Structure 1
Amino acid sequence: MRVFIMFDLPVETKAQIRTYTKFRKRLIQDGFLMMQYSIYIKSCLNKEAAHQSVNNVKRYLPKDGHVRSLVITEKQFENMMILVGEEDKNIELLGDNRTIEF
């Protein structure tokens, strides 16, 4: 399973920038990798582990902005088409070396 966390946070004040930075760093600490700006992805062993990852993110959500999650299967992820640009090999390897256990 793949967990996507997509977010749009305000960054107009220093306090908002600090909140954005703390949220982003926490995602990375929890094993998410940046796929695109404001889109982070994590590979999980199964649906239960994926939902646990989403629940973990819920514990440190910023109070302003928008954060969305999406859980998809490996098959769905493999069917993703890149329309512009080159494929990021780091994201391709995510399932091999960054899988969490539950």
Structure 2
Amino acid sequence: MIVFFDLPSVTYVDQKEYNKFHKFLIKNGYIMMQESVYTKLALNNSIVISERDKLKKNKPSKGLVQLLVITEKQFARIEYVVGDKKTDVEDTESRLIIL
């Protein structure tokens, strides 16, 4: 699952809502891919539906929040056009990673 968001942060209320949404994402296991783009692994469609419902319940009142669901294989095929792959993140199709 990939969540894209663009939220206003002009007023104090906007900033408060931004921080609340950001904390919700982190608390619920989303990992920052880049600024305003967060990812989470969902093992099956029922988890996707559950997470989508949680996002809708915790959405900010203003701004844009989008959800894209792709397979692990599609996610693994992301190409880096500019910039480098983060070395502190394990990128593999394996279900079990031993550190």
RMSD of equivalent CA atoms = 1.8
Bigger relative contact order, structure 1 or 2 (CA pairs below 8 A, ≥6 apart): 1
Deviations 1:2-57 (A, max 9, x none): x1110000000111111101100001111101110000100111122122111111
Unpaired runs of at least 5, structure 1: 98-102
Task: Give the C-alpha shift of residue 92 in structure 1.
Answer: 2.9
Matches within 5 A, 1:1-102: 3-88=1-86, 89-90=88-89, 92=91
Structure 1 length-normalised TM: 0.84
In the alignment, the residues of structure 2 paired with residue 54 and residue 85 of structure 1 have an alpha-carbon distance, to the nearest angstrom, of 30
> For residues 74 and 41 of structure 2, what CA distance do their matches in structure 1 show?
13
Q: How far does residue 91 in structure 1 lie from its aligned partner after superposition?
A: 6.4
Q: Which structure has the larger Rg over C-alpha atoms?
A: 2
Q: Distance in 2 between matches of 1:83 and 1:10?
A: 28
- Identity across matched positions, percent: 36
Tell me if the contact between 2:76 and 2:91 (Cα under 8 Å) persists in the aligned partners.
no
Q: Could you say what secondary structure the match of 1:7 adopts?
A: strand
Distance 1:23 1:74 in 2: 25
Aligned partner of residue 72 in structure 1, secondary structure: coil
Q: Select the structure that is richer in strand.
A: 1
